[in-house]
Amino acid sequence: MASPAPLGARTWTAVLVVGLVGQLAWVIENMYLNVFVYDTISTDPAVIAWMVALSAIAATAATLLFGAWSDRLARRREFIAIGYVAWGLVTAAFGLVGAGAAGAGGAAGAAGGEASVVANAGATVATAVIAIIALDCVMSFIGSGANDAAFAAWVTDSTVPANRGRVDGWLAVMPLVGMLIVFALLDPLTQEGRWELFFGIVGGLTAATGVAAWFLVHDRGVARHEHGVLRAVVDGLRPATVRREPALFATLAIWGVIGVSSQVFLPYVLIYLRYSLELDGYAIVLGVVLLLASALSVVGGRLIDRFGKARVLPYAVAAFAAGLVAMIFVRDAVGVIAAATVMMAGMMGSIAAVSALTRDHTPEDRAGGVQGARMILAVMLPMIIGPAIGAAVISGSAHSYVDLGVEHPVPGPEIFAAAAVVLLLVPLGIALRTRVLRRTEPAMADRG
């Protein structure tokens, strides 16, 4: 059967290349930057906490601003191409900050007596902390403007309801593929402490993708938003906007619940596999899961287009929940691969379906502005609420391991149970969305 509403080779290339490299850069920011700071600058957990919080605020602000700005100009290409080049340069600069901190620390050690060494070392660390947090905020601001605002809006501009399931199915697996590539090809560099080369490779690839995007991305001539940028930003957050577009915000609320559930366990899953289950070759187990889940998610994208986003969403969420429940009970590598594959495929399928639904509800002249609301409800709030729930569950479950006579708390299977409980809110969100649609868009309520 022929694919509905074909996109063309150039558009597909832009979606896959720009989407994948963007997720590679986010893997570095979300997973490896914390390790980099811990290894090279400071082991104080407050440093990482402040860095994550401030970068999330910067990312959300950028998505609001650049999304509205790209709507005002009715152009996305410049924001994507120039943004990716700048994003890559800032990413590469992280290695220089770490090397500078280490070099400064060595110079401080040679500068004088013990008191002088302590004072100079403290000043050096404080300077490096400020520099790394500032640089992370700059990177998050630029990256979110280019990827979360402009690229996401361009994908909405370039697709139609008939093909969004396939497109979002592929985009949903990009974080998994990005993690797999980094784990397989670049993680050895971090083990050897070669952070300059690590950040340089990712930064260079991101900048090169920006150059390629200039030729690949073609603006679709969408309607220009006539309001000013700041007015568009404020308008996108007003209660009147929620009342004017209730189906959009009901869909974003469903996405937010799925996001919170995901963030309950994702920040701790590597620690769980390594220290709680003590799996030999846990990296191989994770790699197999990512490959299988990615393949299933791509297939799921085609099913979304064939049967309808709203019809597939409950089944994808049910698969996500079933995988979470199964993870509570499995202890060996084979069991983890089976349960985690269902869990991750269900999670990616759920995100693909709800993301495509969000695009369907996006006004043609506000695709950029909607990304700000999406960033708040589907990214920022889940990243604040989900890890907090997970941390509370871990603290209350009293699982631990002993290393050199010191007891350390570790995640237990309760994190998966807590994530499954959060998903119980999804049916309420689906019912709310259906009710809204039957009142405002009766035909879409049945079609999805």
Q: What is the pLDDT of residues 48-82, one digit of tens each?
A: 667 777 888 888 888 888 888 888 888 889 999 99
In a domain? residue 388: yes
pTM: 0.75
pLDDT at residue 107, as a whole number: 45
Q: Does 208 share its domain with 255? A: no
**Domains contained in the chain, number:** 2
Q: Return the percent helix, strand and coil in the chain, to nearest 5.
A: 85, 0, 15
pLDDT at residue 266, as a whole number: 84
The structure tokens listed for 245 are 């577009």
Q: Does 306 share its domain with 214? A: no
**Cβ 89 vs Cβ 209: under 8 Å:** no
Q: Does 308 share its domain with 351? A: yes
pLDDT at residue 229, as a whole number: 62
In a domain? residue 56: yes
The structure tokens listed for 394 are 């871990």
Q: Give the Cβ contact number of residue 338 at 10 Å.
A: 16
pLDDT at residue 186, as a whole number: 85
Locate all alpha helices (DSSP H) within 74-182, ordered by sequence: 77-109, 114-143, 152-158, 164-181
The structure tokens listed for 154 are 């361009």
pLDDT at residue 442, as a whole number: 63
Q: Does 262 share its domain with 218? A: no
Question: Looking at residue 365, which CATH number applies to its domain?
Answer: 1.20.1250.20
In a domain? residue 287: yes
Binned at pLDDT 50, 70 and 90, residue 105 comes out as: very low
In a domain? residue 231: no
Answer whether residue 22 shows pLDDT above 60: yes
In a domain? residue 278: yes
pLDDT in tens, 165-224: 888 888 878 887 888 888 788 878 877 878 889 889 999 999 999 999 999 998 876 666
pLDDT at residue 337, as a whole number: 96
pLDDT at residue 75, as a whole number: 86
Average pLDDT for residues 286-304, to the nearest whole number?
A: 86
> Which residue matches tokens 């969000």?
358
pLDDT in tens, 132-149: 888 889 999 999 999 988
Mean pLDDT of all residues in the chain?
Answer: 82
Q: Does 253 share its domain with 310? A: yes
Domain of residue 111: give its range. Answer: 7-163+187-225
Average pLDDT for residues 269-281, to the nearest whole number?
A: 82
Binned at pLDDT 50, 70 and 90, residue 227 comes out as: low
Answer whether residue 46 shows pLDDT above 70: no
In a domain? residue 179: no
Q: Does 285 share its domain with 202? A: no
Q: Which of 225, 246, 278 is the last residue of a domain?
A: 225
Q: Does 202 share its domain with 268? A: no
pLDDT in tens, 8-17: 889 999 999 9
Q: Does 254 share its domain with 120? A: no
Q: Any idea what DSSP says for residue 400?
A: E
**Cβ 345 vs Cβ 292: under 8 Å:** yes
pLDDT at residue 357, as a whole number: 92
Q: Does 399 share its domain with 336? A: yes
pLDDT in tens, 367-425: 666 777 888 888 888 888 888 888 888 888 877 666 555 566 678 899 999 999 999 99
